[in-house]
Amino acid sequence: EAAVVQAKEAYENSLKSLEELKEQQAVATLSYTQAQEDLSNAKLELQQYQGVLRDLEAQQAEQQRQEALQEQVAKEQQRLEREAKQNQTLVASAASTDKTTGLQQLSFSKQKEQPKAQALSHSELRKTKQVAKAQESLPHTGEQQSIW
């Protein structure tokens, strides 16, 4: 009978151990399920952050493109302003030359010393100056200039 009592106690201890193991397994299964859910949530959050990051990178690229365009527009505007100043200088120079030539023609005609010949030579001089200034303002392409 002592062996039966010992066997019965061992059996009851085994049952208790089995119940404890089942409880531990249930806790472990619950923890595992929670960890899988947390992992799925983390993956979704990562995808959202990656989407936000892509959007921010696209915005940054667009901003850089806009800044480059603004810089290009500013440079073009400066170039056009310089060109306009050069054109104003040419026009002012031509107008000044016209006034000077007109005054010279008047004084020459009063003196009656070949006014027509004088006017022609001054007109040719003015045209030569205008052509020379116009050629200087044109961009150089590497070709040799012809002599007129």
- Boundaries of every domain in the chain: 2-133
- What are the tens digits of pLDDT across the range 10-58? 999 999 999 999 999 999 999 999 999 999 999 999 999 999 999 999 9
Question: What is the identity of the amino acid at 105?
Answer: Q
Which tokens hold the place of 111? 């003196």
Name the pLDDT band for 93 (thresholds 50, 70, 90): confident
The H or E element that residue 113 is part of is none
Which tokens hold the place of 14? 């085994």
Comparing 131 with 5, the larger pLDDT belongs to 5
Q: Report the alpha-carbon distance of residue 140 to residue 148 in Å, rounded.
A: 18
Pick from 147, 97, 89: nearest CA to 125: 97
Angle between helices 115-137 and 2-111 (to 10 degrees): 170
Cα 34 from chain centre: 48
Q: Answer yes or no: is pLDDT of 135 > 80.
A: no
137, 86 Cβ separation under 8 angstroms: yes
Q: What is the pTM of this model?
A: 0.44
CA distance between the termini of the chain: 139
